[in-house]
Structure 1
Amino acid sequence: MELEDILYRHFGYHSFRPGQKEVIEQIVVGRDVIALLPTGMGKSLCYQLPGYVFNGTVLIVSPLLSLMQDQVTQMKQFGEKRVVALNSFLTFQQKQYALNYLHQYRFIFISPEMLLQKQVYERLNEVNLSLVVVDEAHCISQWGFDFRPDYLRIGELFHGVNRPPILALSATATNKVLGDIQNYLKMDEPFHYIHSVDRKNIHLSRRQFQRQEDKVDWIIEHVLETEGPGIIYTQSRTKAENISNRLIQVGVQAASYHAGKESVDRQFIQQQFIEGSIQWIVATNAFGMGVHKSDVRQVIHHSLPSNIANYMQEIGRAGRDGKDSLAILLYEDGDENFAKMLATDDLPTDHHIALYENYRFKNENPFIMFQNGEISETAFRVLDYWMNEQPTDEVQRLLHKMRIEKMQAVDEMMEIVQTKDCMRNVLVHYFGQQLTERPNNCCECCGIIVKEIIEPRKLHEISTKPDSWKDRIQSILIGRKNK
């Protein structure tokens, strides 16, 4: 049966989007594939369709619970019942049931940490796997070394002449990240499909401020006068709460989203945003992956992202419907110092290495470090991985190198803030690509007129508030209009 026939029968489409068929053709003949497709280009079809070609199970390694749940829900809505997510949302009984009947599922979603659990891996060994997918594969490089080391172990589980083909999917990746993906997944001469990272419908703006308070004031005024939906990214849970509260006070349908909230609350907020009952999300970078909302019109960065890759991933959540959208980067002098501190905060230090060695010398479990509050959970997880992989002096060298690279990544991000050249050109060049053309209203450097990109907000859409707030809103809109 032709791939187009399968596409129409199971998904209702008559033709593929750019890159999809090229990727699927290589997968069905058993070849490893690395595919970089921008957000909204239909990456999930690249493994869902082969699931109906192969006589076996597709295993999808996914980074976030929300991403898994969203994919499972969507597939069930389209009639696929043989799909399950093995994650912490399952009760003990549900997990045992899923493991006992694992061979009956066509699609299995799983996190790297769950995959490495002995019971889970042993059951998967009994399943006829036809394809292994690593979704958001850039996490191998961006998270594996210093945040979630289990990402680096995925390739160790699937090797040998009879292993299934591996598909690595991402929206963005530098040449270094591509090398890490191929190396740590132990891929065999993979086929590469690299789509341009440039999203011409996302227009790039930036603003510079003298004080943090001025940033927040500007955000409030801007949100009051322009259309959403939108996402405001900040690097602090406290700031996410404060900004969202101020937006709510002036009648904006807003909510904060960060890892400090209960999982069920995050899911509820995310669903409200997707359905449109919340117009603005103020979030840490915990929000975004797997949020299938096509009409996000604006992404505002209140804080400087820690690297260009994160920035590109986050602004890529705007304009998935192909319509004009706006990405605004806000900067205050010294933001880079805060970004560097956050980027290196969870890295183990020489002191932690010495503590670890001391516990090991005393034949005590180094995990006591974490139990005693001498190290954070993330830092211990990273340290424990590397101390069991490398000699101590090599671990020291590696962690020092990571620290320097993270600070250099912030400096690279500063190029977006400081460049007098085209912001879009700097972004595309970072990923080793060339900019072929610049759209109208390209960026702050090339010239940009916001009102040609984002419509002004309608007064009747603002929640009812006391007259003083109505007067405040109207004065802002009138003042801006007269400028």
Structure 2
Amino acid sequence: MQLESILQQRFGYSSFRSGQKEVIEQILNGKDVIALLPTGMGKSLCYQLPGYVLNKTVLVISPLLSLMQDQVDQMKLFGEKRVIALNSFLNKEEKNRVINGLEQYRFIFISPEMLAQRQVQQKLNRIELSLIVVDEAHCISQWGFDFRPDYLRIGEMFGTSRSPILALTATATNKVLEDIELYLNMKEPFKYIHSVDRPNIHLSKMSFSNREEKLEWLFQHVSNTAGPGIIYTQSRSKTHSISETLLQNGISAASYHGGMDLLDRQFIQQQFIEGTLDWIVATNAFGMGIHKQDVRQIIHESIPSNMANYMQEIGRAGRDGNDAVAILLYSEHDEELAKFVGIDDLPLEQHVDIFEEYQRNGQDATQMLKQGEISETAFRVLNYWMEQKTPNEVKTIFQNMKIEKMQKVEEVMKLITSDTCMRETLVHYFGQTLNDKPEQCCINCGLDLAQLLIAKEEKNLSSFSMTWQERITNLLTKKS
């Protein structure tokens, strides 16, 4: 059967989007594949369709619980019953039941940490997989070295005699692509690299003499222009203070960060997706896997710690293909906060010495956690590298990480201070060439921000003047 026929019968589409067919054909030929496809290009189809053709289990390694659950829910909506997310949402009884019956599922979603558990590994070794998928594969390089080291173990978990691996991401530099290939132990993978440029996202930046002036501009701007929008900031406390000020000004907004209760985060996400909330004020914990098509504005209240985060975050705007704006705000000393956030969870040299001392005394190094000598994240990273290298080598690795994170902040600062095209700078950072510039490209190319932004009153008037039939249509569209 031709792929187009399966596409029509299973998914209701008459044609493939750019890159989908090329990727799927290589998978069906048994090749490892790295696919860089922008958000909204239908990455999930690249593993779902082969799952139906090959008719064996597809394992999808995914970074976030909310992302996994969303993907599972979407597949169930389209009639797929043999799909499961094996994660901490399950209680002990549910988890054991799912693991014991894993072979009955066509699609299994799992985190790298759950994949590393011996019970799960033993069960997966007895299942014939058709495909191993690493979704958001840039996390291998972006999170593996200093945050979630189980990402670096994925390749060794499957050995050499394994099913094809598909690595999917929307943004990756050449270095990240090399890390993906290396740490997944890929065998001469086929690479499909789409342009990272999103022409419908128009780029702007503004500098202020101090933070108070910046916040005053932000509150006035959000009060006068239409959302939906996301305001990114670097600290959890700022998410609360900014969202509270917006609420006091009559703007429907909420804060979001990784320290919040899981159910609270899910509730806020759902409100934003359904349109109950116009603005989310968030750390970089928000956005991955959030399928909202009509985000019109992304505002960075303070500069991100690296260009990759910035590109991923602005990429959450304009997924419907309509115009959207990304505004990067800067005030003096913002880079100092960005550097602090970047290195805050890195283990220190003294942690290496303490870890080594525990080992010399025949004690379990996890005592460091119980004694409050190190954070959980830092210990996880320290434990991984102490398994791989000598203590002196580990100290050098952490020192190099610190230097690299400082340099990444300086790369973002170049975007702030340079008068060259912002779009060109971003595309070149990812090792690509910008062939065409859209109209109203960026602030350095003469962008007129006022022409792109819809006034709040105009949007409200437009909403008020809708007929009841249009309102019903909009509600049904949101729910579907």
Q: Distance in 1 between matches of 2:160 and 2:208?
A: 56
Report the alpha carbon displacement of residue 459 of structure 1 after superposing the two structures with TM.
7.2
Q: Distance in 2 between matches of 1:82 and 1:165?
A: 21
Instruction: Name the TM-score, length of structure 1 as normaliser.
Output: 0.94
Are 1:95 and 2:99 matched, yes or no? no
Deviations 1:372-401 (Å, cap 9, x if unpaired)?
Answer: 111111111100100011111111111111
Matched ranges for 1:423-434 at <5 A: 423-434=422-433
Are 1:41 and 2:59 matched, yes or no? no
Paired residues, what number?
461
The corresponding residue for 2:231 is 232
Report the alpha carbon displacement of residue 362 of structure 1 after superposing the two structures with TM.
1.0
Matched ranges for 1:84-233 at <5 A: 84-161=84-161, 163-233=162-232
Report the alpha carbon displacement of residue 127 of structure 1 after superposing the two structures with TM.
1.4
Q: Distance in 1 between matches of 2:212 and 2:32?
A: 50
The corresponding residue for 1:458 is 457
Matched ranges for 1:59-458 at <5 A: 59-161=59-161, 163-458=162-457
Contact persistence 2:116–2:150 (CA under 8 A):
yes
Report the alpha carbon displacement of residue 461 of structure 1 after superposing the two structures with TM.
4.3
Q: Distance in 2 between matches of 1:155 and 1:454?
A: 46
Report the alpha carbon displacement of residue 452 of structure 1 after superposing the two structures with TM.
2.1
Report the alpha carbon displacement of residue 216 of structure 1 after superposing the two structures with TM.
1.7
Q: CA 1:372/1:199 → structure 2, altered by over 3 Å: closer, same or farther?
A: same
Matched ranges for 1:19-30 at <5 A: 19-30=19-30
Report the alpha carbon displacement of residue 159 of structure 1 after superposing the two structures with TM.
2.3
Report the alpha carbon displacement of residue 460 of structure 1 after superposing the two structures with TM.
8.4
Q: Distance in 2 between matches of 1:354 and 1:101?
A: 44
Q: Distance in 1 between matches of 2:25 and 2:225?
A: 44
Deviations 1:323-362 (Å, cap 9, x if unpaired)?
Answer: 0000000001111111111101111111111111111111
Q: Distance in 2 between matches of 1:88 and 1:216?
A: 38
Deviations 1:265-314 (Å, cap 9, x if unpaired)?
Answer: 10010011001001100000110000000111110001110000000000
Report the alpha carbon displacement of residue 441 of structure 1 after superposing the two structures with TM.
0.9
Q: 1:244 corresponds to which letter in structure 2?
A: S
Q: Distance in 1 between matches of 2:81 and 2:457?
A: 43
Unaligned stretches of 5+ residues in structure 1: 463-483
What SS does the aligned partner of 2:31 have?
coil
Contact persistence 1:62–1:111 (CA under 8 A):
yes
Report the alpha carbon displacement of residue 192 of structure 1 after superposing the two structures with TM.
0.3
What SS does the aligned partner of 2:444 have?
coil
Q: Distance in 1 between matches of 2:18 and 2:256?
A: 33
Deviations 1:115-135 (Å, cap 9, x if unpaired)?
Answer: 001111111111111000000
What SS does the aligned partner of 2:445 have?
coil
Unaligned stretches of 5+ residues in structure 2: 462-480
Report the alpha carbon displacement of residue 181 of structure 1 after superposing the two structures with TM.
0.3
The corresponding residue for 1:473 is none
Q: Distance in 2 between matches of 1:95 and 1:202?
A: 42
What SS does the aligned partner of 1:408 have?
helix
Contact persistence 1:324–1:454 (CA under 8 A):
no
The corresponding residue for 1:478 is none
What SS does the aligned partner of 1:458 have?
helix
Q: Distance in 2 between matches of 1:343 and 1:58?
A: 35
Report the alpha carbon displacement of residue 454 of structure 1 after superposing the two structures with TM.
2.0
Q: Distance in 2 between matches of 1:459 and 1:364?
A: 67
The corresponding residue for 2:465 is none
Instruction: Name the TM-score, length of structure 2 as normaliser.
Output: 0.95
What SS does the aligned partner of 2:456 have?
coil
Q: Distance in 2 between matches of 1:188 and 1:66?
A: 31
Contact persistence 1:231–1:282 (CA under 8 A):
yes
What SS does the aligned partner of 1:16 have?
coil
What SS does the aligned partner of 1:445 have?
helix
What SS does the aligned partner of 1:26 have?
helix
The corresponding residue for 1:466 is none
Report the alpha carbon displacement of residue 213 of structure 1 after superposing the two structures with TM.
1.8
The corresponding residue for 1:471 is none
Contact persistence 2:226–2:459 (CA under 8 A):
no
The corresponding residue for 1:52 is 52
Q: Distance in 2 between matches of 1:459 and 1:198?
A: 30
Q: Distance in 1 between matches of 2:458 and 2:399?
A: 53
The corresponding residue for 2:467 is none
Q: 2:181 corresponds to which letter in structure 1?
A: Q
Q: 1:49 corresponds to which letter in structure 2?
A: L
Contact persistence 1:231–1:299 (CA under 8 A):
yes
Q: Distance in 2 between matches of 1:54 and 1:413?
A: 44
What SS does the aligned partner of 1:433 have?
coil
The corresponding residue for 1:480 is none
Q: Distance in 1 between matches of 2:216 and 2:28?
A: 54
Q: Distance in 2 between matches of 1:126 and 1:214?
A: 61
Q: Distance in 2 between matches of 1:328 and 1:85?
A: 36
Q: Distance in 2 between matches of 1:260 and 1:215?
A: 26
Deviations 1:67-92 (Å, cap 9, x if unpaired)?
Answer: 00110011101111110000111111
Q: Distance in 1 between matches of 2:302 and 2:97?
A: 44
Report the alpha carbon displacement of residue 212 of structure 1 after superposing the two structures with TM.
1.4
What SS does the aligned partner of 2:450 have?
helix
